[in-house]
Every structure is written in structure tokens, then in C-alpha cells.
Amino acid sequence: MKQHAAPLKLLAIGAHPDDLEFGMGAVLLKEYAQGTEISIVVTSKGEAGSAGTPRIREAETRAAAELLGASERLTFLDFGGDGLQSATPENALQLARIIREFRPDIICAPSLSTNQHPDHCAVGNATRNACRLARYGGLQALAGLSPHAVGSLWFYSITAQEEQPLSAATLVDVSEMAEAWQQLMACHASQVSQRAYIELQLTRAQQLGVMAGCPYAIALWPNDPPVVQSLAQLHRTARAF
């Protein structure tokens, strides 16, 4: 009897409700459509946000997770509260524990750029540290959970400007997900009713799409050099104007 390969497992981490949906929601939708098992971790409930209560924003996140097939694999962690998050060893260990439990092949986290909401950078750094801690077998704080080595770690941006050089990015063609992406972002009604976040992200994706030769694209940055089996996997790159 033919054995079916296990689905790819992706762990997506956001510092606030809506970070993932705005920053890389179309990528997650595309992966889900291709059979990837998605797990989500959010490290605050938007306590310091200008709109929406933590209860409302948690509910919005759960609605978005449903569209990504991740409602049973959504975890909220407490990294100290919205605006107060930091890459402490304790916070990194919280994520390392999740990594050992979910055992993802790929992890996506917020950009490490400091020129953005400070929580994004803090959670990105905590994630990078957690990926290392998750594979260390002698950590007593993680005793009882088998070590796990993540295949690759990628960073996504959330703000309007690209936070890292595009020359170091990989552009993902998400054109077929544009409509579904808008529906995903609209789950965060408390936020999109206050500012034109959907239009902002679509415009940014269109600009990247012009570079990539497609209607919409999203940039991801690898923590380490990607490994490919052949240059055929890199047959096309973006050409900036």
C-alpha cells in the first residue's frame, strides 16, 4: 500500500492579533490550500491597542484561525503585555516548548528590524532564540519534550515599508489568494474599521508583485541561506526597476 507523505507543518508567530493576517496572511492561505498544517501562536491580546478590547481581538484572531484551518492549533502566550514584550530567556522557552509540542518544519516570525513596533522585533528575536533552545537536549526547563530541529526560520514584515533589504528577500506569488486574503484581514474588524489596513497591505503586495511579475507578492526573509537541490528551483528572480 502506498504511503502518503506527512503534510508540511508550519508554525506562524505574531506579537499581536492581526500581525500574521496583515503581514503574511496570503502566504498562510496559500500554504493551507496546498495541504500544509498551520499552527498559530500570538504573544499578546492587543492590550495597548487604540481600538478593540483584548476579548474582542482574541475573538477576531480565532475567526481568522478558522479560515486557516488552525482553530485547534491556536495558542495565546503572555510575553508581558502589548507594548512590553521582550526576548527574555523565559519567553524564548515558552516558544521552545511550543516548538517541541507542534514540531514544525517551518517557522515564520516578525522581522528583526528595530524601526517598527518594538514588540515585533522582540518576538522575532525570541523566536530565533527559541529555535535554538528547542533542539538542545539538556535543557531541564524543557524536560519531557523531545528536542526538535526546525528546518527553516523566515521573517515577515508588517509595516508599510519593507524592514529589510528586498535583495535578501524571497518573494511569494500570492495572486490567487488576493480575495481570500481580504476576507482574512477583515476578520479583524476592530482594526480595519479604524484605518485602511487592508488597502495598505494590498498596495504593498501589488508593488512587490510588479517586481515579481505577478499581480500580488509577499516578501519573506530567511534567517539562514536556503538550500536547494537544483538551480531549477531558482529559475526566476525579481527584477527591480
Question: Taking the domains of the chain in order of start, what are their residue ranges?
Answer: 9-225
For 19, half-sphere exposure in the C-beta direction (CA atoms, 13 angstrom radius) is 29
CA angle 150, 94, 53 (to 5 degrees): 115
Calculate the alpha carbon distances from 29 to 12, 177, 189 in Å: 12, 7, 19
The fold adopted by the segment(s) 9-225 is Rossmann fold (3.40.50)
**Mean pLDDT on 183-190:** 97
Look up residue 218 and give its three cell numbers.
Answer: 509577499
Look up residue 81 and give its three cell numbers.
Answer: 503585555
Q: Is 27 left (phi over 0), alpha (psi -120 to 50) or beta?
A: alpha
**Mean pLDDT on 218-239:** 92
Calculate the alpha carbon distances from 127 to 80, 193, 206 in Å: 15, 30, 29
**Mean pLDDT on 2-22:** 88
Q: What is the mean pLDDT of the chain?
A: 93
Grade residue 2 by pLDDT with cuts at 50, 70 and 90.
very low
Give residue 240's pLDDT: 63
Residue 219: beta bridge partners? 171
- Look at residue 4 and give its three-state secondary structure: coil
